[in-house]
Chains A and B, each alone.
Chain A
C-alpha cells in the first residue's frame, strides 16, 4: 500500500520532481504475474528512467479495450500494453491512442511494420497443439483438420470472449474466404468444447480431455524448458498460420507524453525483449541472438504467416462472428 500511497500523496501536493514521475501502464493480468514479464521490465525501466511504473491490469486484451473506452478522457493510462492488431483499429478509431513519433527500424519482425501509433512488442503464431502420446499422426493440414472427421477431438476458444478464438476465426476467414462457413461446419464435428478463454481450454487439454487444443506454436517451448518434455507439439499447416501481434501505444490523454515515449522506445531494447520468450512465451520483436532460448531457436516455424489488416478486421468482425455462430450452432 505504501508503494501506492506515497506517489499519490506527492502528486496531490504538486511537488512531484520530474525524475520521480509515475508511469501508469494498463495491461492484461498474466503480463504482471510473478511468472510474467512485467516484474523484470519494471525493474529494468525504473533503473534507467528514475521514475516508477504503476501497473493496472485487467482480465485480458478485450477488457483492456473496454476499460479505455469506459474511462475516455478521464483515463490514468499513460501507456496501453497488450492490445493486438485485431483490436488496435478500434482503439485508434475512437481516439484513445496517439502517434508515438518513434523510429522503429531497430525491430526485427517477419513482416514490415511502420505504424505511426502502435509499437509491436511481441508476436506469435496461432497453432493447433497436440499430445503426441495420444495422437501419433495429427491432421497434417488445415484442410485435413476441417474435413469433418470427428476424431481426434479439439478444444477451441470463443471469438466473442477471447483473442485466440478471434484469431482462429480470422485464420479460417483468411484461408477460406466465402467458404469459411463450410469449414467451420466441418471443424464443429471435431470440436469437443468451446471455452470462454485460453486458460480453460489449455487446462482441459493438459488434463487429457482432448488431445488437441488451439494455442500457439510457442507453447511447446514452455513444456520443453520448464517441464523438460517434448510430448506437446504444434502442427505446422502448409496453408499458413494466423499471427498474433501484440502492440503498445501512448494513451491519447496522457500527461506524461515524454516518459510514455521513452517507455515505448524501451520496448525495442533487450531489457524489455529478453523477458518476452520465457515470460509471455511469444517471439520477441528484435533479434536477441544468443539470448533467445535454445527451445525457441529450434521450434518449427510456419512457412507462411497470415495477418489481416486491422481496418478490415474492425469493419467485418461483427458479421464474421455472426457467420461463425450460425455455422457452429447449426444442427
Chain B
C-alpha cells in the first residue's frame, strides 16, 4: 500500500477535457444558433415508442452477442495453436470496421430472400419439406442478425485477453488438483470473466443503441426505428437544432444510466485479474485433451467463423466478379485509399493517446486510491463520445470551427479528430484491464525498487501493454479507415476517401464498381490490422 500517495489526476483530466469538453463546446455552439426549445414537443407519444423499441433491440442484441461470444472465445482460448488462428482473430475485427452499407449487402447476400442460405436450402430440396428458408430477414430478425454480426466478434476480441491473462501457475495448480472442465470454469474462469463482462456489454450496448443505417435498412419500416433516426430527422430534414440536441442529450443520459446499472450489477472480485499476457502461452490447461472437449471447441470455432466469414466471403466474391482491373487502374482510387489510411492512422493515434491518458488516471484511482467505482465512472464518461450522434457532434464542431479555421480545407484532419473521439471507448475497453492488472501486480515491487514516473513507464507498463496497445491502435485505425459519417459531414471537394467513393458509385448505379471498392476497403482494413498488430507483437518478442 502506498502511503501519502496523491492520485495521478492530470492525464485523465486532459483526456476528459478533450473528449467531453470538445463535445460540450460543439453542442453549445450548435444551441447558440438555435431558438429556445419547447420540451413538451420532444417527449411525445412517438418518442416514447421509439425509445422502447431502441432499448429492446439494443438489449437483445447485446445479450445474444455476448452469450454467443462466450463459448467461441472460450474455445479459442482452449485451442491456442491451430493453423489460421491468428488470421481468424484478425478477420474477427473486420465486421466492425466495414461501412454499414457494405456489411448490409454482405448480410443480405447470405441471409436474404435471394441469399446463399435460401439457395442452399432450395438446392438440397428442403423446399418441398416446407423449409423455405429462415423467414424474413427484415424486421427485428434482420436487426439482430446484423448487430450480432458486428458485435459478437468484438466481444470475442474483448474477452479473449481475460483467458490470456490467466497465469501459468494457475493451470499447473489446476492440473495438480485434477480439476475437470466444469471445475475450471467455475473456480478459475468465471471469477475472472464476470468483472470483464460489464465493460464489453456496455460498449456493445452503446453501439447497438445508436445504430442507425442497420436499423433503417434491415428493420423493415418505421415500426422499427431508433432514437438516432429521430435525431437525424430533426437535424437533417427539419433542421430543428434544439430538438436534435435535446434528443441527443436524452440518448446520452439513457446510455449512461444503463451503463451505470450494468456496472452496479457487476460483482467486484478484488485481485481476481492478475497475471500478464506473456506467461499464459507457456503452460497448457489440463482440460483440453478429451475428445468431447475437442469436438465442442471445433464446433464453436466453426460456428463463430462461419457467422463472421459468410458475409465477408460474399463481399469478396462480389468484389472479385466486378470490374476489378478497371477500378484498380484508376489513380483516384489509390489516392482515396491513401487518404482513408491517413485518416485511420490519425484517428487511431488520437484515440490511443486519449484513451491511455484517461487510463493512467483511472487505474491509479482504482488500484492505489481504492476508488474503483469512481474509476469506472470516469471511464464511462470517456465512453460517452460513442453515443453523441455523429450528425450532432459533426454539425456542432462545424459551427464551432467555422469562424476559426477554413473548415473545407481541413476535412481530413477534422474527420480524423471526430473518428478519434468516437474510437476512444474501444481503447478504454481493450487496454483498461491490462494496465490495471499491471498496477495491481507490480506496485509493491516498484515501490521497493523506487521505480516511478517515466522509468516505470518504460520498464514496466510499456513492455506489458505493447501488444494490446498495438491491438487497440490497429482496431481504432481500421475503424476510422472505413468511416463514412465524419468525412461526409465536412464536405470534401475532391478529397474523397474510399468510403466516399463507394457511396458515390452507389449513387451513380455503379453497384459492381462499389463492390470492387468495398473489397479494396476490406483488404485495406485487414492490412492496417496486420501491419500494426504485427509490428507491436513482433517487437514485443525481441
Contact = CB atoms under 8 A, between A and B. Distances in A.
Interface of A: 3-4, 8, 26, 28-30, 32-36, 54-59, 62-63, 65-67, 69-72, 74, 76, 90, 153, 158, 160-161, 166, 188, 191-196, 198-200, 202-204, 206-210, 219, 222-223, 226, 281, 317-318, 321-322, 324-325, 328-329, 331
B440 interface: no
Given A34-B330, A194-B221, A207-B109, 4 more contacts: A28-B507, A62-B237, A317-B237, A325-B46
A324 B510 CA distance: 31
Of the four ranges (under 10, 10 to 19, 20 to 34, 35 or more), the interface on chain B belongs to: 35 or more
Contacts of B399: 70
Contact of B504 (A36, A90, A208): A36
A219 B509 contact: yes
B229 interface: yes
B216 A158 contact: yes
Contact of A56 (B233, B330, B493): B493
Main SS of the interface on chain B?
Answer: helix
Contacts, number: 172
B68 interface: no
Nearest to A65: B239
Interface in B232-246: 232-233, 235-239
Given A76-B408, A203-B101, A30 B507 contact: yes
B395 A70 contact: yes
29 contacts: A8-B406, A8-B409, A26-B491, A30-B507, A30-B508, A36-B507, A54-B493, A58-B488, A59-B488, A62-B236, A62-B237, A66-B236, A67-B491, A70-B395, A74-B402, A76-B408, A158-B216, A160-B233, A161-B232, A192-B138, A199-B503, A219-B509, A223-B509, A281-B508, A321-B233, A328-B222, A328-B223, A329-B49, A329-B221
Given A55-B493, A74-B403, A33 B114 contact: no
Contacts of A33: 501, 504-505, 507-508
A195 B225 CA distance: 11
A206 B108 contact: no
B171 interface: no
Contacts of A209: 108, 112-114, 137
Interface in B170-222: 212-213, 216-222
B500 interface: yes
A194 B109 contact: no
A161 B216 contact: yes
Contacts of B138: 192-193
B219 A34 contact: no
B213 A199 contact: no
A183 B108 CA distance: 28
B223 A200 contact: no
Contact of A193 (B220, B398, B494, B505): B220
Contacts of B492: 56-57
A207 B108 contact: yes
B506 interface: yes
B233 A161 contact: yes
Contacts of A193: 138, 142, 217-221
A133 B399 CA distance: 50
